[in-house]
Chains A and B, each alone.
Chain A
Amino acid sequence: KAGVTQTPRYLIKTRGQQVTLSCSPISGHRSVSWYQQTPGQGLQFLFEYFSETQRNKGNFPGRFSGRQFSNSRSEMNVSTLELGDSALYLCASSPALSGNEQFFGPGTRLTVL
């Protein structure tokens, strides 16, 4: 099976712009989670989608949003980018909502100038 894929791998944006990141889960996996990884804050949970519904949300401002499509692919969007949004954004998929380990993608490195 192909692993979790994320596009693009690298992205440079300027403050105030918006960005959309994409994640394709492992075939058959219906749960997709998003994390922000920074040196200072570590891995922080953004949100989780299951069967096109947001099931759980972390403590991030409303500028961070996401969605999941019927084929389980997911996108996350960040509007009005701030310098502090520079991070590695990781997507992870799992077969179900609870208990299962999550399989991570390579991440999208976002730099905000």
Chain B
Amino acid sequence: AQTVTQSQPEMSVQEAETVTLSCTYDTSESDYYLFWYKQPPSRQMILVIRQEAYKQQNATENRFSVNFQKAAKSFSLKISDSQLGDAAMYFCAYRSAQGPLNDMRFGAGTRLTVKP
């Protein structure tokens, strides 16, 4: 079974600095999708960034980028120029591209604090 591990329960970053959140996963599949979701306090979970496993190029969305290392099964999220609004729980998620048993698997989450 696929598992997702986020080894950093909490992280802290100074406003305007850069922070990297770690995620590793375990799978025997070759075709899958990886996601980073953000859940602000008492607010809705939103998608930050998505990566298809068959693409070698790392995904980027504005200040958010990933370092996808397929062989190492690692999928870290880098947040550049951190802003106060980035403070949230961040969840790494895995979803198989092969149905039908392809529910999304989430890591335990990393709580990010942004200091002014």
Contact = CB atoms under 8 A, between A and B. Distances in A.
Contacts of B98: 98
Interface stretch (B19-27, B40-48, B62-70, B76-84): B40-48
A3 B98 CA distance: 26
Contacts, number: 52
B104 A98 contact: no
A102 B94 CA distance: 11
A47 to B, nearest CB: 8
A42 B45 CA distance: 13
A97 interface: yes
A64 interface: no
Given A45-B104, A56-B103, A101 B97 contact: no
B12 interface: no
B12 to A, nearest CB: 20
A83 interface: no
28 contacts: A3-B44, A33-B103, A33-B104, A35-B106, A42-B106, A43-B91, A43-B106, A43-B109, A45-B104, A45-B105, A48-B103, A55-B99, A56-B102, A58-B103, A90-B45, A97-B100, A97-B102, A98-B95, A98-B97, A98-B99, A101-B47, A101-B50, A102-B47, A104-B44, A104-B45, A104-B46, A105-B44, A106-B43
Given A33-B104, A101-B35, A104-B37, 18 more contacts: A3-B44, A33-B103, A43-B91, A45-B104, A56-B101, A56-B103, A58-B103, A92-B104, A97-B100, A97-B102, A98-B102, A99-B33, A99-B97, A101-B33, A101-B47, A103-B47, A106-B44, A107-B44
